[in-house]
Amino acid sequence: MGKIKNMRDAVEAELAFDPLVDASDIDVKIVGPGEAALIGTVPSYPQYREAAEAAQRIAGVKVVHNHLAVVLPPGDYRDDAVLAAAANNALALNITVPSSVEATAHDGNLRLTGTVSFGSQRTAAELTVAGLTGVRNVKDHIDIAWDADPIDVTLLVQDALDRNALIPDDSDVMVNTDGHMVTLDGHVRTWAEHDAAIGAAWMASGVFDVRDRLVVTG
């Protein structure tokens, strides 16, 4: 019981410490060994994302269930046409996002569509619109078009993992590629290692999706 309470207290303290999160309406529950759940509301989509990242920074936290709802302040609401226009303008101004990517809006929820060549471009598109006023959520339906040999993709990802300073030389992370899908299996010590491995996989040419089977040992 002591460990569960200490982990909850640590997550709550990290949320209160993080200047990017208003934790006044967030409740933390420990729902299993190493599993933290965030329940309540936040006033923006960036805070929704940041709250989960804050919880992941705590030692011993292996899984974060983000059940937070984004409840925008009255002054932050935008109608669908205004929000979609703002999102598409932001995408057009970002040189790392291909011109094929477009955004539509429905009740504060942005949907991204189009085609890119790299997973990093898809990530850039999502980050470009995530902080816009009026966004409650972002759904990424962008396709990745690239004709790549699965063996080449596997080697590219494995080499990237070997170069990464956050991933130890004795890591047991394994890379398997099926078509455009990369699967990562194995163990990492922290969420920082986890995110580094996932990020390395997304940067390889031809990766359409990354299946995360990594276990955070804490």
DSSP symbols for 29-42:
EEEETTEEEEEEEE
Spatial contact of 174 and 197, defined as CB atoms under 8 Å apart: no
The answer, yes or no, to whether residue 1 has pLDDT greater than 50, is no
pLDDT-derived band at 179 (thresholds 50, 70, 90) equals: confident
Spatial contact of 4 and 37, defined as CB atoms under 8 Å apart: no
136/123: higher pLDDT: 136
What's the whole-number mean pLDDT along residues 5-20?
A: 93
Q: Which domains does the chain have, with CATH numbers?
A: 2-70 (3.30.1340.30), 76-144 (3.30.1340), 150-216 (3.30.1340.30)
* Lowest-pLDDT choice from 140-144, 156-160, 206-210: 206-210
What is the structure's pLDDT at 180? 73
What are 208's two structure tokens?
Answer: 């359409």
User: How does pLDDT run across 185-210, given as a tens digit for each residue?
Assistant: 999 988 888 988 988 888 777 777 78
Q: In angstroms, rounded to a whole number, what is the distance separating the alpha carbons of residues 162 and 139?
A: 32
Give me the percent of the chain exceeding a pLDDT of 70.
96
Of 50, 2, 51, the closest CA to residue 30 belongs to 2
What's the whole-number mean pLDDT along residues 172-195?
A: 88
Q: In angstroms, rounded to a whole number, what is the distance separating the alpha carbons of residues 15 and 61?
A: 14
The model's pTM: 0.74
User: How does pLDDT run across 39-86, given as a tens digit for each residue?
Assistant: 999 999 999 999 999 999 998 888 999 999 999 999 999 999 999 999
